[in-house]
A = this chain, B = another copy of it.
Amino acid sequence: MKAFTEMSNEELRALYKELNGKYHEFQSRDLSLNMSRGKPSLEQLNLSMGMMDVLNSESDLSSDDGTDCRNYGVLTGTPEAKELIGDMMEVNPDNIIIYGNSSLNVMFDTISRSMTHGVMGSTPWCKLDKVKFLCPVPGYDRHFAITEYFGIEMINVPMTPTGPDMDLVEKLVSEDDSIKGIWCVPKYANPTGISYSEETVRRFARLKPAAPDFRIYWDNAYGIHHLYDDQQDHLVEILAECKRAGNPDLVYKFSSTSKITFPGSGIASIATSRNNLEDIEKQLKIQTIGHDKVNQLRHVRYFGGIHGMVEHMRRHAEILRPKFEAIQEILTEELGGLEIGRWSNPKGGYFVAFDSMDGCAKRIVAKCKKAGLVMTNAGATYPYGKDPRDSSIRIAPSFPPLDDLKLAMHLFALCVKLVSIEKIVEDRKEAGQE
């Protein structure tokens, strides 16, 4: 099929009529499909049911150092949980604090602490006239929601195939001391699926921020979430790289087991320099007596080490891979050559990013919804929900069963086509080409 923009209005109208008939067929099927969030599927959840058998009433619930995990105490996590998560995050266990079930909560608390107490002795951000964050776009809506909640001004930084536009990041960060951070999902990024290149990470580690309390918020949510054994992105480890660059305190690295075991019942963590950890622990010891150590023990004993976790992730991949491949097949089959959209082809993570023609994303998502398919809100992947080109749509394939996903993707492609035709015809009309 030829590109839509090369078709005459007449051809487009004929095609629209045909496609619209198909759309009404979809509507009449009363569908209820959801590709809006990066939630593991039931099949994936079932992979971790063995977690429930690991501990029983006969178990010794002590950690290796003799700590009774049932009782109060152990502020920063048990030694063996730190070892497991250290292996997962590729950092020294001594650089880790283990938290509760949510890395989002850890990030929120990190910003909140900076608001009330600053960073390593800096002025609390709530005392400053202006605090700004850099936000690579498209990005993760829940990151942006945190900075918005605290009244932090967000500045868009375009994503490239190798990560954020580092020329721009370097320039802004070195010039403006009200810029206190940047949100990053460096591997299998949400939503583009790309991983930051070696050069990008090296440039991050060598940033010269004007603000001494500037930190990189490195949310490595998909560090071991590969789709393939033989095609995996490799990310340079940022803590080590910052240390080598003489910037040891520059980064907070976040992670969790939410998409490894149970999303509601995993363990989250932060990895950072000892200086930063000491700063954080001043808050942490006031905030809590300790996190859930029994759940730490459950994770440690279930996996028996990083190898067990890696094998577990291969089983997740077996479930996710066909879904990601179906997306590529269907989009190529339905939209290939039409020049009305581009999409990413990630080798891991939870998302595919779709770029429609400018000014079409909201209408596509709305049209999907009218036929029973819920996508992530268009614009959600931008600060303040505002995608300036209105073209970015996040596809989250993990939750629906494969057959539902295929159906959803055909419907999605159909909506892309319909809205694109509408847009092309409108644009021509506006330009007097009608």
Pairwise interchain contact A265-B292, C-beta atoms closer than 8 A? yes
Min CB gap A239→B, angstroms: 25
Cα distance A283–B258 in the bound complex, in angstroms:
21
A79 to chain B, nearest CB (A): 15
Binding site for B on A (CB under 8 A): 37, 39-40, 42, 45, 48-53, 55-57, 59, 61, 68-74, 100-102, 104-105, 108-109, 112, 115-116, 124, 126-127, 142, 145-146, 149-150, 258, 262-265, 283, 286-295
CB–CB A286/B146 < 8 A: yes
- Cβ contact within 8 Å between A72 and B263: yes
Residues of B within 8 A of A57 (CB): 49-53
Q: A85 vs B371: C-alpha distance in the bound complex, in angstroms? A: 41
The 3 A-B residue pairs whose C-beta atoms are closest, nearest first, are: A49-B57, A70-B262, A265-B294
Which partner residue on chain B sits nearest A49 by CB separation? B57
Is A116 touching B108 in the complex (CB atoms < 8 A)?
no
| Cα(A108)–Cα(B116), bound, Å | 12
Judge whether A71 and B126 touch: CB under 8 Å: no
A45 in contact with B59 given A108-B287, A126-B124, A289-B104 (CB within 8 Å): no
A105 to B294, CA, bound (A): 18
A287 touches B104 (CB 8 A): yes
Contact status A264-B283, CB under 8 Å: no
List residues of chain B with CB within 8 A of the CB of A145.
286
Please, which residues of chain B bring their CB within 8 A of the CB of A283?
A: 149
CB < 8 Å neighbour of A292 from B42, B101, B108: B101
Assess whether A288 is in contact with B49, with CB atoms less than 8 Å apart.
no
A150 to B286, CA, bound (A): 10
Task: Count chain B CB atoms within 10 A of each CB in A59, A61, A150 and give the residue with the most.
Answer: A61
- Report whether A288 and B104 are in contact in the complex, using a CB–CB cutoff of 8 Å: yes
| Besides A52-B56, A73-B264, 6 other A-B contacts (C-beta < 8 A) | A52-B55, A70-B262, A101-B292, A104-B288, A116-B150, A124-B126
- Rounded to whole angstroms, the CA-CA distance of A57 and B126 in the bound complex is 47
Q: Are A288 and B108 in contact (CB under 8 A)?
A: yes
Query: Contact check: which of B53, B70, B126 meets A264 at CB < 8 Å?
Result: B70
Complex-state Cα separation, A275 to B407, whole angstroms: 43
Chain B, Cβ-Cβ closest to A67: B264
